[in-house]
Amino acid sequence: MKYFALILLILSFNSFGSICDDHQDFEKIAVLNKGRVKPYFVAAKEFTKAITSKSKISNIDTNKLFCLVSMNDYESIKAQINIKVEHFELKKFLGLADSDLFINIEQALEKKELVRSEIMGQKENNSYKKALNKFWFKANTFEKATKGELWTVYQKSDKQSEQKYTWQPISNFKEISTPQLLEENSYFKKNNENTIDIETTYAKSNIFTYAMLIALIAIILTVMRKSASIGFAAGWILIITEAIGMTFRVLISGRAPITNMYETVLFSGFGALFIALIIYIFKRDKLFILGGLGYNILCLFMMRFADGMLSESISPLVPVLRDNFWLSTHVTTIILSYAALALSWMLANMTLIKGRFGTLSSKDLRYYEDLIYTAIKVGIVLLAAGIILGGVWADYSWGRFWGWDPKETWSLIVLLFYMAILHGKSTPWVNTRRFINLSAAGFMTVMMAWFGVNYILATGLHSYGFSEGGAIFLGVFFISQIVLIILANIKVKTRA
């Protein structure tokens, strides 16, 4: 009897509360959620992000947070789990003050059903309804997690047969210890080819933060030093760093790293720098390196700080995109063309700003025009090729070369815009100054085709990556770009 009590005591120590303290030991175990097998570490990070909109919460490790929530034992940390509430009407509905940005998870769970019926009462699918839906979804995800449904464990389902395994929610295990977890996981490793270890390494490496640092140093060096060679070398280091990061993603997902907005932004930054460095070899102008690095760091900033709009998680693809050959050729070509056009946009804006703060002779202007023209040439040839590859893919998998789908149509609009400028160059309508202005403005059509179709038009067959913040981001971009062009030209006119 005494021993029995002792065993009970040990067992209870080993159970719920304490297992979460050894989270470091099991952060590499495989978890199946949201349609993909991933390391516990990544699942925990994604969960934290999904609920709190933050990648990190002060004082609490995301591993521990996910563990405690899955064990339904989060009393001690619940004060720190908050859901972000941005929509004005939603704040009012939840009884928050206008200045409040967050609601505690406990209140959120209490309000969940009320929110549900509020959703039912909405006739129109407006931003309020979307905010309600988003909120409900978060609360519901959290509730699922407390039932242990998000942390699934690979387990032998049939004691007799060695072959049968299923994914069971952690709540199905009455008392599970870390060694037991690791043992179950060893079956997974034995039975499946997997990239869990690679993914853990990738997720913990923060490689793109380092890339950002390199980019920053490279820009400073390029601006400070007269010779471009240091910037050129730093540019290649950055290219290699980003290539390593992308290779990780390719190994994990088994497909080209261009399947969501996060990846396309990354790839365009990479592509623009790459194209800039190549052009530099021929044209020997530091401005190319600066433009490439500048655009690259903008992309890294977006990936890091616009994480509400760009999700870094790797998710399953919609069936129609599951063709590695076409995906890698068509999307890569298109994004590379956007990258080259982005380079022309950077150069055009740099010229405009330069003209605003200093004077540019018409010879200077013609020189810059030539630089921009070089980038645009690369861009439109790649774009034309990309559009046609897309048409061939569509023909091959949907049976039509062209269907006026908004994504297709907008990529054609981009091509037409640049074609109009290039043809216009041979008429008196587009002189050097106008060419520079139009090249700066032209990137707005690229942004519309790239982001606007998903975030503003939000319809059609290319239905990946929708988000709310996108429309605001685009609006801000358009306005800033127009203001920049206007300011640059007012100066020019008063001088003349």
Partner 1 sequence: MQSLFKSLRKIERTFGSMKFAVTIITIFMFALIYGTFMESYHGAEFANRLVYKSLWFMGLQLLMFCSIIVATYLRFPLKKRLYGFYTIHSGLIILFIGSFVTYINGIDGSLELIPNTPARKIVIDKDFLKVSIQSENKSIKFPLPFGAFGTKLDGKYKNLIKLKEFLPSAKLITKWEKTDFIPEAIDHGSIYTIFNDNVSQEFTMSLNPSSDFKSSTRLGPLTISYMPHNLYECFTAESKSGFIIWDTAANNCYTAEQKNIPVIKTSKDNEFIAFKNGNEILKFFPNFSPLPVNDDLTKKMDSSFRVFSRKLFQDKPNLFLFGDKFAFYKKRKKRWIGKKFSEKEKIHKLPWMGFKLRLLEHRDRMVPYQTPIYSRPIQDSGKIVDGDVKAVKVEVKGKEYWVRSDAPLALNNGKTEIRFQLTKDDIKLPYQITLKRFKMDTNPGTNDPASYESFVDLLDGRNNSPATEHHVFMNNPLKYDEFTFYQASYFQVGPNVWGSAFSVNYDPGRPLKYAGSLLLVLGAIWHYFLRRKKKKTTKV
The footprint of partner 1 on residues 456-475 (CB under 8 A) is: 456-460, 463
User: Site for partner 1 (CB under 8 A): which residue of 57, 230, 412, 492?
Assistant: 412
Q: Which of 400, 288, 384, 389 is nearest to 342 (CA)?
A: 288
User: Site for partner 1 (CB under 8 A): which residue of 243, 388, 483, 487?
Assistant: 388
CB of 224 to partner 1, least distance (A): 33
Alpha-carbon separation of residue 418 from 158, 383, 385, 403 (angstroms): 63, 10, 15, 22
Please tell me the distance from the alpha carbon of residue 436 to that of residue 479, in angstroms, as a whole number.
18
Give the interface segment with partner 1, choosing from 206-214, 239-247, 267-275, 422-430 (CB under 8 A).
Answer: 422-430
Q: Does 392 bind partner 1 (CB under 8 A)?
A: yes
Please tell me the distance from the alpha carbon of residue 454 to that of residue 470, in angstroms, as a whole number.
8
Over the window 1 to 40, marking each residue x when it contacts partner 1 by CB under 8 A and - when it does not, the resulting string is: -------------------------------xxxxxx---
What is the β-pairing status of strands 30-33 and 36-39?
Answer: antiparallel
Residue 410 contacts residue 449 (beta carbons within 8 Å): yes
Q: Does 256 bind partner 1 (CB under 8 A)?
A: no
Nearer to partner 1, 358 or 428 (CB): 428
Please tell me the distance from the alpha carbon of residue 463 to that of residue 8, in angstroms, as a whole number.
54
Please tell me the distance from the alpha carbon of residue 95 to that of residue 78, in angstroms, as a whole number.
19
| Sign, Cα dihedral of 462, 463, 464, 465 | positive
Give the interface segment with partner 1, choosing from 15-23, 104-112, 360-368, 427-435 (CB under 8 A).
Answer: 427-435
Nearer to partner 1, 26 or 417 (CB): 417
Residue 27 contacts residue 184 (beta carbons within 8 Å): no
Nearer to partner 1, 416 or 486 (CB): 416
CB of 405 to partner 1, least distance (A): 8
User: Site for partner 1 (CB under 8 A): which residue of 1, 4, 98, 121?
Assistant: 121
Please tell me the distance from the alpha carbon of residue 468 to that of residue 445, in angstroms, as a whole number.
20
Nearer to partner 1, 225 or 283 (CB): 283
Please tell me the distance from the alpha carbon of residue 337 to that of residue 380, in angstroms, as a whole number.
7
DSSP letters, 360-401, are --HHHHHHHHHHHHHHHHHHHHHHHHHHHHHHHHHHHHTS-S
Give the interface segment with partner 1, choosing from 67-75, 202-210, 302-310, 315-323 (CB under 8 A).
Answer: 315-323
Please tell me the distance from the alpha carbon of residue 265 to that of residue 398, in angstroms, as a whole number.
27
Residue 310 phi/psi, 5-degree rounding, is -110, 115
Give the interface segment with partner 1, choosing from 154-162, 245-253, 349-357, 450-458 (CB under 8 A).
Answer: 450-458
The footprint of partner 1 on residues 161-180 (CB under 8 A) is: 167
Tokens 């159970």 map to which residue? 15
Q: Which of 172, 171, 122, 176 is nearest to 145 (CA)?
A: 171
Q: Does 478 bind partner 1 (CB under 8 A)?
A: no
Q: Does 316 bind partner 1 (CB under 8 A)?
A: yes
Q: Does 342 bind partner 1 (CB under 8 A)?
A: no
Q: Does 356 bind partner 1 (CB under 8 A)?
A: no
Q: Does 222 bind partner 1 (CB under 8 A)?
A: no
Nearer to partner 1, 349 or 445 (CB): 445
Q: Which of 309, 220, 223 is nearest to 301 (CA)?
A: 309
Q: Does 391 bind partner 1 (CB under 8 A)?
A: yes
Which residue ranges make up the site for partner 1 (CB under 8 A)? 32-37, 117-118, 120-121, 123, 125, 152, 167, 316, 319-320, 322-323, 326, 377, 380-381, 384-385, 388, 391-392, 395-402, 404-406, 409-410, 412-413, 416-417, 419-420, 423-424, 426-427, 429-430, 453, 456-460, 463
